Structure 1
Amino acid sequence: MNLSLQAVSDWGDANLVKFNASKTQACLFSAKRSPFHLTPNFQGVSVPITNHLELLGITLTPTLNFGSFIESKAQVASKKLGILAKVRQYFSPGQLLNLYQAQVRSCMEYCSHLWDGSAKYQLEALEAIERRAKRLINDNDLVGKKLQSLGHRRRVASLSVFYRIHFGECAAELHDLLDSDELKKLALSDSNT
């Protein structure tokens, strides 16, 4: 691991990229319950191994269980929806829908392609907020025409990522990890289910 970290540091030096070693984080992703005794070192700084990793607003755990992340997003979305409920008298249903999509729904959809496969009971908190929003907007025709379900939006996000990986519209290293024939088999098996 330390050799890989040294390679990253050397790449940074060669490409005039400065890394902040004190902000470097480490988390071991494994199904093993026994602890690993590793002491990664990056640019002379010991990197502590934690039980979660914060990366671009996403919390990753060693088991890749997104339950606590989804719960925190549901809490933020619920607070935002509560504020929207307090000022609903000043807006038309169309304006409420736009505000909901911009302020609340965007929070609930952030990086949804990563946690789309989470357990249904974990996703239920977000679905409950969606139901509250529909009652708040109080226009079934408008909601039916302009608001797709959260599940549908997550699936579209996941398919968009799949498309980009499949056709090489991503980092070459990621595309090269995947065998095109395996992807085709996976796509066919998913479409048959």
Structure 2
Amino acid sequence: MELCVASFRQWMKTNMLKLNDGKTEILIIHPKPPHQHVLPVGEIIGNMHLTPNTHARNLGMTFDSNMSLERHVTNMFRTANYHLHSTGCIRRYLEHGHTKQLVHAMVISCIDCCNSLLNGLSVAVV
């Protein structure tokens, strides 16, 4: 693990990027059936203390350890409902066309983000 992080840090340095030690996360992906999968305890690599997470966020997508994407779908619908509720609070001040446009802009942008990765998910997740 330490060698992997060191090579990644070197690659970032070569490309004039900096690894943010405070935000770096580690996600161990494993199949669903073995529920007794043992996650290693926190590991200190360089000056970072890495503890495996059950989920990690990358470019707006929330991945979990068994790649079911349940957490991402839940967050996506939570955000869409928040925008619908917020629009409902100011609805009386907007014309019908503007309200429709606002709902389309806010809700569809939540649903459309990274939706190609959701292709093939079971109906139970969605």
How does the TM-score come out when normalised to structure 2? 0.77
Q: What is the aligned partner in structure 2 of residue 30 from structure 1?
A: 30
- Equivalent-residue separation in structure 1 for 2:124 and 2:11 (angstroms): 43
Other structure's SS at 2:26 match: coil
The answer on whether the counterparts of 1:77 and 1:104 sit within 8 Å (CA) in structure 2 is yes
1:6-54 deviation digits (Å, cap 9, x = unpaired): 1112223333322122321001011144214376554332311111112
Structure with the bigger percentage of strand: 2
CA offset at residue 111 of structure 1? 1.5
How many percent of aligned residue pairs carry the same amino acid? Answer: 20
Q: What is the aligned partner in structure 1 of residue 12 from structure 2?
A: 12
| Aligned residue among 66, 72, 76 for 1:69 | 72
Higher RCO (CA 8 Å, separation ≥ 6 residues)? 2
Other structure's SS at 2:73 match: helix
- Equivalent-residue separation in structure 2 for 1:94 and 1:109 (angstroms): 21
Alignment of 1:108-187 (within 5 A): 108-123=111-126
- Equivalent-residue separation in structure 1 for 2:125 and 2:16 (angstroms): 43
The answer on whether the counterparts of 2:44 and 2:50 sit within 8 Å (CA) in structure 1 is yes
| Aligned residue among 42, 50, 54 for 1:51 | 54
1:91-124 deviation digits (Å, cap 9, x = unpaired): 343322210111222122222122232222332x
Other structure's SS at 1:54 match: strand
Q: What is the aligned partner in structure 2 of residue 88 from structure 1?
A: 91
Paired residues, number: 123
The answer on whether the counterparts of 2:80 and 2:110 sit within 8 Å (CA) in structure 1 is yes
Structure with the bigger percentage of helix: 1
CA RMSD of aligned residues (A): 2.4
Structure ID, larger Rg = 1
1:37-84 deviation digits (Å, cap 9, x = unpaired): 376554332311111112233221111112232122212211221232
Other structure's SS at 2:125 match: helix
Unpaired runs of 5+ in structure 2?
none
How does the TM-score come out when normalised to structure 1? 0.54
